[in-house]
Chain A
Amino acid sequence: MKRFVFAAAMLTCAASVAALPPGPPPGPPPPYQMRPVAPAGDRLKPGGDGKTLFEVHCGYCHLTGGMGTNLLTKQRMMMGETPDKGLLANRTDLTADYVKSVVRMGKGAMPGQTKVDVTDVELDAVARYLGKAG
């Protein structure tokens, strides 16, 4: 939480944003983010809960303090957005198709995910959850 307050303070002063290297703010990183228990049963059956599946399968990097969140926070802030947009769950501009494409094809340092990492129907649910722009 502290890091976001600090990051927001940085944003209010555009000059210092430009002057500082875009590193992580000081202070201890957030605690480990527990993921929900993976749903039991057939991973090929449609209709899973997108939020749970996102946290289970993408939570290694995309919860608070995760590797992906840290990099995206920096990127979004450089684009003039608020730091909370580093969390994919807070994004409103993602489409389901875009989410699927990035998950399967990878993006930047993120490797493409196999169907064992996340099955097609799990990905459908995740994409519906994250794809708030349609």
Chain B
Amino acid sequence: MKLHLPPRVSPRTFDAMLTAAAGVVGKDWVMASDADRDAYSDVYAPGSPEEWPASAAIAPASVEEVRAIVRLANEHKTPLWPVARGKNLGYGTAAPRMAGSIVLDLGRMNRILELDAKLAYCVVEPGVGFFDLYEAVQREKLPLWLSVPGNAWGSVLGNALEHGIGYTSYGLHARNLCGIEAVLPDGDLVRTGMGAMTGNPAWHLFPMSYGPTFDLAFSQSNLGIVTKAGVWMQPAPESSLELVFDIPAAEDIGWVIDTIAPLKISGLIDQNVFVPSWLGKMVLKGQRKDFWDKPTAIPEARVQELLKEHKLGYWQVALRLYGEEGVVKAKADVVKAAMKRNLAAPPEEHWWHPGDYIHGVEITMGVPSAVPLQMSDWIGGRGAHMGFSPVVPATGKHVLDQMHRSRKIIADFDVDFYASFTIGGRFANNVNMLMYDRDNAAEVAKMRRLFDTLITETAKAGYAEYRTHLGWMDPVMDTFDFNGHALRRFGEKVKNALDPNGVVAPGKQGIWPAAYADQRGGKA
């Protein structure tokens, strides 16, 4: 990819920044060739990756190096785009929001600093991946489980900071963060919570600060660069039981939510319950063309045939309970009785006890895997995908309303409907996965129009996304309109106070520093 300089930065200043950065991290860790820029582009971009081009990447190995690079960025007015491992697939990968930003790749900072089985937490740097943490736990034979996202190639901290979700009792990953260290946009270094006191051993155990609590202000944020954090982990349970219910019809999602959400809110179910539609199973069985060979959306009659042929319900609830066997049995009785009110067929039951086999794609038991990314082969080609991800209250009425709206819009665009709901308690995360061929310009253009329409129509109905691709960070922030977009105004006041040069992640989630206010909504 050709070089896109940051706004108002001359080639000479840009070179001076890279030379100075090489003095900090070593010349091999300053990457600025055309091939390097390609490697940091959004490989699944809906359109040309040159819409979100990085100018270079710098990879520091320590907190002190991060601080030095941030000071240099202020000096040269060259904005940085920090990434943990740069695997934010479907949301922009490692690419920056603003053209010409320098990716600050924290992948080399990959130390596991603490792994404590007694109090069930770890302290990690941003470059630690789910695979790394899982293997460290296995090697030390510690009774700890992870919570992993669908595709676990990425960073433990990166995923939590991006508000990623998993499918265990610890599935709301941002909530597991406890005690953060962050480099501020002026190069200062802060520790939150009890970590604000030098050497305090409760840093990663008590989740609040004395005074305002800033931990989550560093998530989906450009207020600082997180360089380490505590993450709470699940103690390995004494047993676990999976109850698998096939739910026949699309409309059944209403009673499913009304049955499960109260049990989750009451604490009887600990897990984030993932309810994928049938297509979530089909994508692992082959390619779309094996089942429907036309470019048009798979029609309802064919969907019904496929469900019958492959013995699938429209939805599947694979609900997992964790704990002492007697407790799990008692909980399972409550869940089964509740589900029986609407579903005669009993669930399949899969017990697990320590020492039993766990397969390598068991995400509800915290095993990291990249296999769910296999869905990208459904369409074939370069495996492009984007998720439209609104949050709705966890009631049947809200969920059905959301499903009907998305389903109609997606059908109007003649695209397959591939939805899931994850019940996190009082809310459900709805992900509508859109898979497309990146090399088909007409299809990409259609997907972009579809995405715009989904955001607008969903906002009209009063719901918003919890996370989005780079290209829609501004439109989604626009939907948060209370009191003249007060949340954005507040975010930008704080941003400008902390980052007068706007050097940390300008435009992240629609928060633009004054220095780059002219870039808002803009594309390269």
Contacts and interface: CB of A to CB of B under 8 A. Distances in A.
A29 B286 contact: no
Interface stretch (B32-40, B169-177, B218-226, B501-509): B32-40
B229 interface: no
Contact of B371 (A44, A59, A65, A112): A65
A33 B360 contact: yes
A111 B43 contact: yes
A34 interface: yes
Interface stretch (A5-13, A46-54, A84-92, A102-110): A102-110
Interface in B354-393: 357-361, 367-371, 373-374, 376-377, 381-383
Interface in B1-49: 26, 28-29, 31, 35-36, 38-40, 43-44
Interface residues of A, number: 36
Interface string B138-177: 1100000000000001000000000000000000000000
Nearest to A31: B360
B35 A34 contact: no
A30 B357 CA distance: 10
A108 to B, nearest CB: 6
A31 B286 contact: no
B93 interface: yes
B94 A23 contact: no
Interface residues of B, number: 50
B131 interface: yes
B178 interface: no
A114 B94 contact: yes
Contacts of B35: 104-105, 112
Given A21-B290, A21-B291, A116-B107, A67 B370 contact: yes
A112 to B, nearest CB: 5
Interface in A47-76: 59-61, 65-68, 70-71
A29 B38 contact: no
B370 A105 contact: no
A23 B135 contact: no
Contact of B374 (A31, A67, A111): A67
Contacts of A71: 374, 377
Which of B40, B287, B360 counts the most chain A CB atoms within 10 A?
B360
A25 B35 CA distance: 38
Contact of B286 (A21, A28, A61, A114): A21
Interface in A98-125: 104-106, 108-109, 111-117, 119
B363 to A, nearest CB: 11
B57 A114 contact: yes
Contacts of A22: 286-287, 290
Contacts of B243: none
A29 B360 contact: yes
Nearest to B93: A111
B153 A112 contact: no
A42 to B, nearest CB: 10
A113 B107 CA distance: 12
A29 B361 contact: yes
Nearest to B106: A116
A111 B38 CA distance: 10
B108 interface: yes
Interface in B245-300: 284-287, 290-291
B39 A31 contact: no
A80 B304 CA distance: 33
B371 A23 contact: no
B377 A30 contact: no
B395 to A, nearest CB: 35
Contacts of B31: 114-115
B105 interface: yes
Contacts of B134: 32
Given A23-B285, A24-B284, A109-B382, A70 B374 contact: yes
A49 B35 CA distance: 25
B135 A105 contact: no
Nearest to B384: A109
A44 B25 CA distance: 13
B86 interface: yes
B59 interface: yes
Nearest to B43: A111
Nearest to B374: A67
Contact of A115 (B39, B358, B371): B39
A105 B59 CA distance: 20
A32 B360 contact: yes
Contact of B360 (A30, A68, A105, A111): A30
Given A104-B35, A113-B39, 8 more contacts: A21-B287, A22-B290, A32-B360, A33-B360, A60-B370, A66-B371, A67-B373, A70-B374
24 contacts: A21-B290, A23-B285, A24-B284, A29-B359, A29-B361, A31-B359, A32-B358, A32-B360, A35-B131, A65-B371, A67-B369, A67-B371, A67-B373, A105-B38, A109-B373, A109-B383, A111-B44, A112-B38, A114-B36, A114-B57, A114-B107, A115-B39, A116-B29, A116-B105
Leading 9 A-B pairs by shortest Cβ distance: A109-B383, A23-B285, A21-B286, A21-B290, A111-B43, A116-B107, A67-B370, A114-B39, A109-B376
